[in-house]
Amino acid sequence: MRTRPSPSFVVAVLALVVASGGAGYAAGTVTSSQIADNTIQSRDIRNATIEGVDVASRSLPRTKISKGCASGEVAVFGGCVATASRGPSSHQAAVDDCNNRNGRLPTTGEVQWIRSHMEFAWADGNPSQYEFTGDFTGGYPYTPIAFDRSGNGIDNASANLFWHHCVTS
């Protein structure tokens, strides 16, 4: 005697196949145009999948309350930069100073921008003095880079006492 599946069993198996296939289909075909604005939350995003270029400038909430830049500072590079330099100091002391101010040394590109804007004082007022960047040379030994106001660079600024600006948040 042969057992035949009941009609309800056939319908249940068919429903299970369709339901599981539908979820896989949705996972592979949902696009950003089908997602309503402001509905994705942090828990919905896998870690290390979003980069800075994927996020609009100043769109993320700050972890600290910010009431703008302090007196003598200008809002640039996503933070505040004092119009006056600090120093002279060693590179490590410059890094420590910026860290203590909840900031960082500017990148090479940011230092190039600062040196081209006269509202920022350069070093001790002497354009031939150098200022540290937060960047390092690309090869071993990795050493900090500094520039003077004319754009001349030093690739091994580690043993020097130079000036610096900080980008603070």
Is residue 152 a contact partner of residue 121, using CB atoms and an 8 Å limit? no
Give the pLDDT of residue 27: 60
pLDDT tens for the 169 residues of the chain, in order: 677 888 888 788 787 777 776 655 656 677 777 787 777 777 777 766 776 656 665 565 554 444 588 889 999 998 999 999 999 999 999 999 999 999 999 999 999 999 999 999 999 899 999 999 999 999 888 999 999 999 999 999 989 999 999 999 8
Residue numbers of the domain that contains 81: 73-168
3-state secondary structure of 66: coil
Same-domain check for residues 33 and 92: no
Any domain includes 24? yes
Cis peptide before 141 (omega within 30 of 0): yes
CA separation for the pair 158, 145 (Å, rounded): 8
- Return the closest-CA partner of residue 144 out of 135, 107, 23, 12: 135
Any domain includes 54? no
Same-domain check for residues 34 and 91: no
3-state secondary structure of 4: coil
Amino acid at 150: S
Same-domain check for residues 28 and 94: no
Give the pLDDT of residue 60: 59
Percentage above 90 pLDDT, the chain: 53
CA separation for the pair 125, 48 (Å, rounded): 43
Domain count, the chain: 2
Give the pLDDT of residue 118: 93
Any domain includes 93? yes
Give the pLDDT of residue 48: 60
Same-domain check for residues 29 and 110: no
Alpha carbon separation from 4 to 1, 7, 120 (Å, rounded): 10, 9, 86
Is residue 157 a contact partner of residue 145, using CB atoms and an 8 Å limit? yes
Give the pLDDT of residue 82: 94
Any domain includes 59? no
Same-domain check for residues 35 and 90: no
pTM of the model: 0.59
Same-domain check for residues 95 and 164: yes
Any domain includes 64? no
